[in-house]
A and B are shown apart, each in its own frame.
Chain A
Amino acid sequence: SQELEQSPQSLIVQEGKNLTINCTSSKTLYGLYWYKQKYGEGLIFLMMLQKGGEEKSHEKITAKLDEKKQQSSLHITASQPSHAGIYLCGADGYRGSNYKLTFGKGTLLTVNP
Chain B
Amino acid sequence: KAGVTQTPRYLIKTRGQQVTLSCSPISGHRSVSWYQQTPGQGLQFLFEYFSETQRNKGNFPGRFSGRQFSNSRSEMNVSTLELGDSALYLCASSRQGAYEQYFGPGTRLTVT
Within 8 A of A (CB), among B90-106: 90, 92, 94, 99-106
| Known pairs A45-B101, A48-B100; A102 contacts B106 (CB<8 A) | no
Docked pose: A97 CA to B94 CA in angstroms? 12
Docked pose: A109 CA to B103 CA in angstroms? 20
| Known pairs A41-B105, A42-B105, A88-B43; A100 contacts B99 (CB<8 A) | no
Interface membership of B55, Cβ < 8 A = yes
Asked if A42 contacts B42 (CB within 8 A), the reply is no
A3 to chain B, nearest CB (A): 11
- Please give, as numbers and ranges, the residues of chain B lying within 8 Å of A41 by CB-CB distance: 105-106
Asked if B104 contacts A42 (CB within 8 A), the reply is yes
Docked pose: A43 CA to B105 CA in angstroms? 8
Asked if B48 contacts A40 (CB within 8 A), the reply is no
8 Å CB contact of B42 from A50, A100, A105: A105
| Known pairs A42-B106, A99-B31, A99-B56; A106 contacts B42 (CB<8 A) | yes
Interface membership of B108, Cβ < 8 A = yes
Within 8 A of A (CB), among B58-112: 58, 88, 90, 92, 94, 99-106, 108
Which residue of A has the minimal Cβ distance to B58? A100
Asked if B102 contacts A45 (CB within 8 A), the reply is yes
Within 8 A of B (CB), among A51-106: 88, 90, 97-106
Asked if A99 contacts B43 (CB within 8 A), the reply is no
B77 to chain A, nearest CB (A): 20
Known: A42-B106, A99-B101, A101-B45. 13 other contacts (CB 8 A): A40-B88, A42-B103, A42-B104, A43-B90, A43-B92, A43-B103, A98-B99, A99-B33, A100-B45, A100-B48, A101-B101, A103-B42, A105-B42
